[in-house]
Amino acid sequence: MSIQWFPGHMTSARRKAAETMEFIDVVIEVLDARAPEASSNPMIRELREQRQRPCLKILNKADLADPVVTQAWLDFYNKREGVKAVALSCKSASDAAKVPKLCQPLAPHRDSTHKPLRMMIMGIPNVGKSTLMNMLLKRRVANVGDEPAVTKSQQCHNLNERMTLTDSPGLMWPKIEHPEDGLVLAAIHAIGRNAVIEEEIAEHLANILLARYPAQLAERFNLDVAGLDSIGVIEAVAKKRGCLLKGGGGAADLEKAAMILLTEYRAGKLGRISLETPATRAAMLERAPDISTAPHSR
């Protein structure tokens, strides 16, 4: 399944972001720590590189991701010029408070009331941009929801007399080049439900869990995962949770079981699980040589 999701308001949001980029000093790109490269919008990199803007990459929701894998991603990003990467949970006030101090060294010439540091928060939908904005300002100025594309317009605020902060809507890109990226983005709920089939997303998630985190999958659902494939996992979840079709003669309700698997993964109930690593990312690109030079292959 090839997933594409580009709501109409994102065209104007991209145009506005390009205009604002001229007047900011540091891009704060919020990523999902469970899938940092899949959740990195190639348009954001393109926009900031055109203006030669440094970037603080925040691997948000780090409390939900595998810490060993997260460290591998930090090492991967911190080798890049003009990039600083950190792992945080933007729901934590203490974590969020670190962000301005991390941005300052990226633009040391902007550190006064006459030349305030101008930052812009960017990222794809539902990675925690609005949560970070609210934490930094210590008040609710951006709507927060567990659905993609809650923020629809840009907002600019004074963080203090030496810093300003602009929050931008979640930006997807018009074409997701790698089908696996679409599946991963849907699994972390960065894509609207109207664009996906939950059973297919759950099957992809189950394949990853079987390959990399079988013990956590087995423990959460009290399963013997030996010999199971992805469909078998969903069927087993249906049996364990009593998901049966009404009037179906005891047949499993796979759609309901798929949603249970996805919902509990997104909530962290299966433990700290990452959906991609630098190594699996490289292997994916190796399998797709015809598009490995596309912007999102990075």
Angle at 272 between CA 268 and CA 278, to 5 degrees: 125
C-alpha–C-alpha distance, residues 292 and 53, integer Å:
25
- The pLDDT confidence band at residue 10, using thresholds 50, 70 and 90, is low
pLDDT tens digit string along 104-159?
A: 999 999 988 899 999 999 999 889 998 898 899 888 775 554 544 444 567 788 99
The answer to whether residues 214 and 160 belong to one domain is no
pLDDT tens digit string along 55-102?
A: 999 999 999 999 999 999 999 999 999 999 999 999 999 999 999 999
What is residue 155's DSSP assignment? E
- The pLDDT confidence band at residue 8, using thresholds 50, 70 and 90, is low
The answer to whether residues 204 and 235 belong to one domain is yes
Q: Are 36 and 276 in contact (CB under 8 A)?
A: yes
pTM: 0.87
- The pLDDT confidence band at residue 1, using thresholds 50, 70 and 90, is low
The answer to whether residues 35 and 126 belong to one domain is yes
pLDDT tens digit string along 197-256?
A: 899 999 999 999 999 999 999 999 999 999 999 999 999 999 999 999 987 678 999 999
Residue 139: domain span: 9-167
**Terminal-residue alpha carbon distance, the chain:** 22
Number of domains present in the structure of the chain: 2
Q: At 70, which helix (H) or strand (E)?
A: helix 67-77
Average pLDDT, the chain: 88
The answer to whether residues 162 and 188 belong to one domain is no
Write down the pLDDT at residue 5: 53
Q: Which residues contact 75 (CB under 8 A, 6 or more apart)?
A: none
The answer to whether residues 185 and 158 belong to one domain is no
